[in-house]
Chain A
Amino acid sequence: MQAITRKAVFLKLQQTVLDCEDNHLLLDVLLRDSYSSLSIAGLDYLFIGGVFFDRELKVSKTCFYDETTKNNISDDNLHVGPISVEKLIIQESEEKAKLLNNEVAITGQIDQFIDKNYSNFAKIKSLILSPVHVRGQLAGVIILASNRDLNSIDDSELELIEIFTNLVAFTHRLQETEISLSNITQEVYKMNAKLHQLDKLKDEFVSVASHELRTPMTAIKSFLWMALNKQAENMTPDLKRYLDHAYVSTERLISLVNDMLNISRIEGGRIALRLTEIDLVAFAGDICEELAPKAAEKKIALTFEKTAMPKVLCDADKIHEVFINFIGNSLKFTPENGKISINFKQNEDMVECAINDNGRGISGEDLNKLFTKFGRLDNSYVKVAESSGTGLGLYITKSLVEIHKGQVTARSEGIDRGATFSFSLPIAGSKTAKALAESAPKETGETKELEKTSINF
């Protein structure tokens, strides 16, 4: 019968720990409940005290329960209720030696550890000091005061105390883990908030810095324009050429600022997508029409394959940028009388659009640098051969496709053998399109539009 009761008591104590919602109170709750529960199991104590310390035996926590005291947390960490922590732990004693050795110490020398003024002092006949060992170290001591003689404390009681102390040890370790975990979580939250703030500062900096850069660039551009448009007749051909080149370079600088703003926005997730279902083939047709004058200027045949394709889910403005970038690139690197053709194919969830040209082509070593920032690989200063743009256009194009859950590729058989750039977009209603609709950045006060990108055809 008693065995069943004891089992029930321990299960209840375990449950108390498991149910406790405040990680900082696990030990307090366990010891408070133990005071009443252990007496049900036939183990009556005048008080239960607990003292816990860190690796240097510095007291980190104390608690004390008796019939009148619900909990007594000492202010000075030198006393636990009437128990002197100093005598228990700091001063050398036979009992301390045992505790450090992970052995239970039982003593009849009450006044050695307990304040004589304690109301129940006279009733205490023996003290049981049970060591709480965690990770092979003394992490605390449970102090039980009994009104029974030393001799009456038998093996079965000690066994029970050992089980109880183990439960305390587990709880202590659990509490430590939970507290450190919640500290870590708070740290992570703080760091995350700080990162968010830094990101915002970076964005603000980029934004203000671009504004500051644009002002002098506006002046340079305006005066160059004025010279070229109003004083052209007074210029020598050389001077005109110099100013022309300065004007083009200023435009390039302005595009660079725009592209850097775009990258900062794309990478910071601040470009919102307004997703609609579009017919990519018809869309490409419109863009071909838009670029027809440029193509005609260079006598390049720009054609697209009129084929039936499922609609894709995308932000039309962004995909317009993608087309302009890819076709613009082809126009730039395809000589007169060349050809550019646009083809489509369906591949599982995606429609793939390929822009083929029979232009200058790309060397194998440059292929893998094309979509990187400034056409460079990490840890290398070798750029993609000959680029008169900002060096960011293809990186932005790739980023725009990727935020649509698509992919970009570039292929070329080599120099003077043409190139094919392709990108994919999810078919409306497909799994990928649904994932895109869920994950796409939505318009908020913090999202912005893309800056004007200019392509030098």
Chain B
Amino acid sequence: MQTRILLIEDDALVREAYQETLQGAGFMVTVAINGEEGLAKAQKGGFNIIFLDVMMPKMDGLQVLKKLSEKPPEVQNGPIWLLTNLSHDPVITQAMDLGASGALIKSDIDPGQLIEAVKKNASTIEVKTEAQSA
């Protein structure tokens, strides 16, 4: 089974680098360029792991988490990891309270470490076809 990743990241270049790296490692990557789009895709469910940026246009990462916890998708997702540059910020604690499983500081990791994070943390849930069409 191919690991499915949702990457919600507004910075085009960072998104491109991560998408390419993750795809290169054999994962199936869906991207979203802002919180709103990210929420819509996450609500369809079926991702083994979701990487969520915090500061984004339209809807920030905290709101995405809040909406997802208020109305969990019918098809379950794997863990949501914050992928942010806001280290040691109260926002990270808030995100954990809202259901995030962890946080990665983008500037502290290289793409290789992102691949490791997927291997270590992605859930092994069976994915339904709906998300595959996303």
Chain A residues packing against B (C-beta within 8 Å)? 207, 210-211, 214-219, 221-223, 225-226, 229-230, 254, 257, 261, 445, 448-452
A222 to B87: give the CA distance in the assembly, Å.
18
Residues 1 to 53 of chain B near chain A (Cβ within 8 Å): 11, 13-14, 17-18, 20-21, 24
CB pair B88–A218 under 8 Å, yes or no, is no
CB pair A222 B90 closer than 8 Å: no
B55 touches A219 (CB 8 A): no
Query: Given A222-B14, A225-B112, A229-B112, are A214 and B20 also a contact pair (CB < 8 Å)?
Result: no
Selected contact of A226 from candidates B11, B21, B87, CB within 8 Å: B21
Extra contacts, 13 of them, besides A207-B89, A452-B87 (Cβ < 8 A), are A211-B55, A215-B85, A215-B106, A218-B11, A218-B85, A219-B17, A222-B14, A222-B110, A223-B13, A229-B111, A450-B88, A451-B88, A452-B105
Residue from the list A218, A229, A230 in contact with B107, Cβ < 8 A: A218
Counting chain B CB atoms within 10 Å of each CB, the highest count among A207, A211, A448, A450 belongs to: A211
Q: Considering the chains assembled together, what is the distance between the CA atoms of A215 and B105 in angstroms? A: 10
| B-side interface mostly | helix
**Of B24, B55, B89, B106, which is within 8 A of A218 by CB?**
B106
Nearest residue (CB) in A for B12 is A219
Q: Within the assembled complex, what's the spacing in Å between the Cα atoms of A221 and B105?
A: 13
Inter-subunit contact B14/A219 (CB<8 Å):
yes
Interface size class of B (residues with CB under 8 A): 20 to 34
A222–B104 Cα distance when bound, in Å, is 14
Smallest Cβ-Cβ distance to A210: which chain B residue: B85
Would you mind naming 25 contact pairs between A and B with Cβ atoms under 8 Å apart?
Answer: A207-B86, A210-B85, A211-B55, A214-B85, A214-B105, A215-B11, A215-B106, A217-B107, A218-B14, A218-B106, A219-B11, A221-B110, A222-B17, A222-B18, A223-B17, A226-B17, A226-B21, A229-B111, A229-B112, A230-B24, A254-B107, A448-B88, A450-B88, A451-B87, A452-B105
Q: Is B74 part of the binding interface, using a Cβ–Cβ cutoff of 8 Å?
A: no
Give the CA-CA distance A450 to B13 in the complex, in Å: 28
Task: Encode B58-80 as 1/0 by CB contact (under 8 A) with A.
Answer: 00000000000000000000000
User: Cβ of B130 < 8 Å from any Cβ of A?
Assistant: no
Q: Would you give the 0/1 interface string for B91-134, flagging 1 where the beta carbon is closer than 8 Å to chain A? A: 00000000000000111101110000000000000000000000
Chain B residues in 8 Å Cβ range of A222: 14, 17-18, 21, 110-111
Closest residue on chain A to residue B10 by CB atoms: A215
By a CB distance below 8 angstroms, the chain A residues around B107 are 214, 217-218, 221, 254, 257
Residue on A nearest B20 in the bound complex, by CB = A226
**Which of A222, A223, A254, A261 is packed against the most chain B CB atoms within 10 Å?**
A222
* A217 proximity list for chain B (CB < 8 A): 107
Nearest CB on B from A158, distance (A) = 73
Task: Please indicate the chain B residues that have their CB under 8 angstroms from the CB of A211 in the complex.
Answer: 55, 85-86
Contacts of B18 in A (CB 8 A): 222
Closest to A218 in B: B106
